[in-house]
Amino acid sequence: MGEKQNAMSLEIKVPAVGESITEVTIGQWFKNTGDYVEMDEVICELESDKATFELTAEAAGVLTVKGEAGDTLEIGEVICEIDTKASAGDSKPEASEKNNTEDKKTESKPASESKSGKTGEVKEMVVPTVGESITEVNLATWLKGDGDFVELDEIIAEVDSDKATFELPAEARGILRHVAEEGDTLEIGGLICKIEIVDGDAPAESSEEASSAEASGSDTQGSGSYAEGHASPAAAKILAEKGIKAQDVKGTGKDGRITKEDAEKAQKPAAKPAAEKTAPKAAAAEAPAVTGDRNTKREKMSSLRKTISKRLVAAKNETAMLTTFNEVNMKPIMDLRKQYKEMFKEKHNVNLGFMSFFTKAVCVALQEWPSVNAQIDGTEIIYHDFCDISIAVSAPKGLVVPVIRNAEKLSFDQVEKEVVRLATKARDGKLTIEEMTGGTFTLTNGGIFGSMMSTPIINQPQSAILGMHNIVERPMAVNGEVKILPMMYIALSYDHRIIDGRESVSFLVRVKQLLEDPARLLLGV
């Protein structure tokens, strides 16, 4: 019997997905054991340490899964089998026996229960793998309530990792049952919810729920709904900033949900009048009344904020960090921008900002001083012949550092477009892990917030970071005369273990020269 099955079954093995990749992890199955699959149909997702790949069926037939989601398999290992002799109506004996049992159960169910559309199957959803180095996530917000009907692939929750926010889609169609609560920290592969699978139309409210509603005399206009009094993610953020509780706001959204507009209009409830004093007036005079609000609030740190904290402390503790300063006369760049900004925008459809000048300047200087573009790996130094420039962006949930790849080869307009694209995705929380991974040198611009001078912290494992600051008109001595010039302080923080003082100062002077004479950037001198 085993030989016959082997003759009828096609073994699907983990394919070679890259030169240096020796193993993969099963991300999720799109098909289950007993399902009929067509040739070239996508049946699962495989994740390596570099990318995610789709695995397709090599033939049509009935699928038998050999590995579970989360399993790590070596290249060439059997991941599933396909019974190529089976037709679309066939299934495995175990599945047939189970189906017969389920059919009998269904026949014995009351008509009212079978009408609900529930199949009796329950899909357990676990936290998916969201990145190579991410081991846990924080359940930020449930977008669908416990007991809500959800469609396949409908977004049901948002989860925060230490690098980005991800949307969690439903893996089945049916009734959602929460297992984890908002704010819970879950490991990758941990159970987050269950879905009671439903066929046909969404089931009506169960008789138990209806009877309990009648018994409690609840209003049928949506009273007791999960959405009622529940704030959307955007509304919750606004209410938290205002220090207003959700229960103090009346929602105008569907089923009473609090919308962003509701949160923006919400005002703090008026303070209750103090109770009348029963003590003598002389006693009341001993302690003067405190006027004004004295509210406080306590919030749990997000995964991203906790990771930022750990990385910043590690950078201070694990590197021999020093900072050297210089100042730049920004008038030549400002004159150049004023002269050509309209032509530049008309031709390239993007503004000519300061970031392209700084990016191009540091790329030239990095190639002249390669140790500033290097990093330490154990007892070795890794030198890069390319410039992947990280740009620090202040996103709503914390600092993120997306990367401009091969910036040394990009033109001014290409740099500006990439800066705008990455900054927009960062503020929308849509950056991918790949877009934030790597980087050989970092630029951070505290000047946009009004900073005059700072000592930026190195973005490990990089060895240096350049801080830009605000532009201030100051009196400067030029050829024996005092002139008012727009000046900017620039600061280079560097790891003294790999970069000597001579190299750090020379690098910063070179950046200063290029910025004060931007024609050098165009001529490459």
Q: Are residues 358 and 498 in the same domain?
A: yes
Q: Return the CATH number at 76.
A: 2.40.50.100
Q: Are residues 129 and 82 in the same domain?
A: no
Domain contains 274: no
Known catalytic membership, residue 500: yes
Domain contains 358: yes
Domain contains 65: yes
Q: Are residues 58 and 117 in the same domain?
A: no
Q: Are residues 35 and 123 in the same domain?
A: no
- Is the pLDDT at 412 greater than 80? The verdict is yes
Q: Are residues 125 and 49 in the same domain?
A: no
pLDDT of residue 356: 92
Domain contains 100: no
Domain contains 223: no
Among 18-32, 101-115, 466-480, name the one with the lowest average pLDDT. 101-115
Written as six digits, the tokens of 75 are 């290249």
Domain contains 255: no
Spatial separation of the C-alpha atoms in residues 185 and 300, rounded to whole Å: 11
Domain contains 290: no
Residue 158's domain comprises 113-200+229-243
Q: Are residues 143 and 21 in the same domain?
A: no
Find the radius of gyration of the CA atoms of the chain.
31
Q: Return the CATH number at 336.
A: 3.30.559.10
Confidence of residue 230 (pLDDT cuts 50, 70, 90): low
Catalytic option among 384, 413, 500, 517: 500
Give, for 510, the enclosing helix (H) or strand (E): helix 501-516
Q: How do residues 195-215 score in pLDDT, each as one tens digit?
A: 998 876 666 544 444 444 444
pTM score, two decimals? 0.50
Give first-to-last CA distance, the chain, whole Å: 77
Q: Are residues 158 and 52 in the same domain?
A: no
Confidence of residue 121 (pLDDT cuts 50, 70, 90): confident
Spatial separation of the C-alpha atoms in residues 472 and 334, rounded to whole Å: 13
Neighbours of 412 (CB within 10 A): 20
Catalytic option among 71, 199, 201, 496: 496
Q: Are residues 135 and 44 in the same domain?
A: no
pLDDT of residue 102: 47
Q: Are residues 341 and 235 in the same domain?
A: no
Of 61, 94, 127, the last residue of a domain is: 94
Q: Which residue has the higher pLDDT, 212 or 389?
A: 389
- Is the pLDDT at 109 greater than 60? The verdict is no
pLDDT of residue 515: 95
Known catalytic membership, residue 90: no
Residue with tokens 């611009």: 445
- Tally of domains within the chain: 3
DSSP string, 303-370: HHHHHHHHHHHHHHHHS-EEEEEEEEE-HHHHHHHHHHHHHHHHHHSS---HHHHHHHHHHHHHHHSG
Q: Are residues 465 and 497 in the same domain?
A: yes
Q: Which residue has the higher pLDDT, 266 or 409?
A: 409
- Is the pLDDT at 73 greater than 60? The verdict is yes
Of 29, 61, 94, the last residue of a domain is: 94
pLDDT of residue 211: 43
Write down the mean pLDDT value for the chain.
80
Domain contains 103: no
pLDDT of residue 284: 52
- Is the pLDDT at 442 greater than 90? The verdict is yes
Q: Are residues 362 and 470 in the same domain?
A: yes
Q: How do residues 492-510 score in pLDDT, each as one tens digit?
A: 999 999 999 999 999 999 9
Mean pLDDT of 401-411: 93
Mean pLDDT of 308-326: 85
Q: Are residues 31 and 131 in the same domain?
A: no
Spatial separation of the C-alpha atoms in residues 193 and 123, rounded to whole Å: 9
